Structure 1
Amino acid sequence: MIPYGRQEITEADLAAVQAVLQSDWLTQGPAVPAFEAAVARRVGAAHAVAVNSATSALHLACLALDLGPGDWLWTSPITFVASANCARYCGAEVDFVDIDPHTRNLCPQALAEKLRVAEAQGRLPKIVVAVHFGGLACDMPALQALARRYGFRLIEDASHAIGASVGGIPVGAGQASDITVFSFHPVKIITTGEGGMALTNHPELARRMACLRSHGITREAAEMEAAVRTDGDGPWYYQQVELGFNYRMTDLQAALGLSQLDRLDDYIARREQLATAYDQALAALPLALPARRPGYQSAWHLYPVALSDAAGCDRLNLFNALREAGIGVNVHYIPVHLQPYYRRLGFAPGQYPQAENYYSRALTLPLYPTLGGDEQAQVIAALQARLAA
């Protein structure tokens, strides 16, 4: 079976992890801060906080921005559930903004209209999570302009988008947002096994996320409550100043991430090459291909297509036929508001028609750096056999 995504583990990766196994540190040693510094340099951010998953990073980002009961977080319905769940972890309310059918990202025009109505109702969001679906960045300048006008904070869920850029500026530089989140899950661009990272240019946000990822504990005297400390406390002393979590990344994971980061440019170039080959081979088929925007370099985490009305078959039949042919297609994503948990909160079919229409026709094709030319040709031939007029 040709999977839709697959990690690559090289001898260099194995050596990097083995070096940690043979060192004095397996969990919280020098590899984690080295990985944080390397990613921050790569994207041009001032601060990076490595954690055990992108979901954890989203949660910490929301906490650092003081999201809580009575607040609202808005995001796209076409995303993994974590982009919305992070608000619920904080006791906040969730709402969604429909997608642009071309980019499949959160639509700035739909957001502007929803904000206009919400302002009149007195229920503006505290945070908007902009999801860079498939690796293509959202229109962050447009979202930033709305954030300034209406006073909400911006989180970039760039779980799909490390290595992407807009106008030559890497996603993660944080010029238009407060915090950017990356994922290092095995099917993402680079992997740490499981893992994630939050990047920001705000030192106080970075400090708070770093504290919250490790039980809310600090060993920094300047961050402690002086009245609690006694003269008998020594170098071992620490204080829990907030209710935090064990969201830490290990040195084993960070070592793998550091090794993988060395190949990030090669991975993006290969993904671009494969995406271009798909674009050319599938152009005549009844499919809506992923968007390309001038000045935007996608990370090409996914290659999602959508069947047009002229396809002559439904998505389920095509999905099953391709799976039977040994092609591990997938679907990204079931709109979050259609999940049972969110339906119990009052969401229902029909609320976000562009997202629901896209989902009803969506299919994700295999795309990963080690996908061979013969394997991609097999995918293309199978689609052509089933969709060509």
Structure 2
Amino acid sequence: MKIIQVNEDISLKRSVDSGTEEQRAIVKDIIGAVKSGGDQALFDFTEKFDRVRLSSLTVTDAEIEEAYKEVPNATVEIIKEAAENIRVFHEKQLRNSWITTEKNGTMLGQKVTPLDSVGVYVPGGTAAYPSSVLMNVVPAQVAGVERIVMVSPPGQDGKLPAGVLVAAKESGVKEIYKVGGAQAIAALAYGTESIKPVDKITGPGNIFVALAKREVFGDVDIDMIAGPSEITVLADETARANEIAADLLSQAEHDARACSVLVTTSRKLAEETASEVEKQLAVLPRKEIAAPAIADYGAIYVAETVDEAIETVNKLAPEHLEVIMENAMEKIGKIRHAGAIFIGRYSSEPVGDYFAGPNHVLPTNGTARFSSPLNVDDFQKKSSIIMYSEQAFNENAAKIAAFARLEGLEAHARSIEARFKK
């Protein structure tokens, strides 16, 4: 890994999923085909891209029962416990509707309403992601969403991974479809004979999924356009190089464009970590994915002071941030930009990926500067409540009419004055 002095360069190469003109054209064509062709288009695209010819898009109860036979009971229990941890955490995020009453009789408030329906995309391809099921479905359930639809690309055997189906069942998903890619996003947004449209789409995917989500946004809501995974480790001389190297590689194995960074005040730790990454990378099963990620998007920054290191982290605004330093809790108040913060040696990033409870769907590509992890609020909407009393209206009508005329909107003013008793 490259070792860079902070005062020399604090830029970070990131892979941005903006797509090529050709990719965007392909996505638009796919969406148009699904809108006009419905289920048949989904079957055709699944055969073309996933190399499997399906007779039905719907996952059956028999397929779910078969999945439970494939997944060991101990693993099922782990999935159940993880789901409960996620549920308990997200229940703390719930907001209630509220109303305040003024002395003059005015009532103002906010009505919190869950979305009617949500579509959850679970990626396939190089790995299976039961954790993605839990992290997207559970907060939607906590929010009160009644209809949750899951889509995921089938394998060449025409099935979804057993672990994904078990996670879906344990989190209460009742609609599951075997379709992936941009065609799945189109189906969720606009509907087909088998899949009714939803109001919002969440979940990560490849570049075609990301571009499709961008394309349908406005007709439906989306969570975010997720880029490749990122981790930054903020560490001092008390950290252990072999553990940091393992943490950096835990993200590099996700994607050849994943970004793994160490920011440290210790040159010795920097050098030891760089050596450890090479050693561990040599024997990593997913080396073909992790190696280019480390080579192209990995870096080690050495800062002169702790404050300089923290400021570097804030400029990077990483998706995942581990803080492994002496008196780590004292440093957290200065961290302004990070999707999730993992504090101390025993809070490695996979703890949050799978089990602790906070959501692992996090802002990437520096968007932690202005956005948050997926949460219950993402599955609810707020309506303002306004009920003016006659007294409050008469007290304020002239002011409101004057404000309307300030903006040149005479009909607004007359709407007020039609009720105004001088």
TM exceeding 0.5: no
Pair member with larger Rg: 2
Q: Give the structure with the higher percent helix.
A: 2
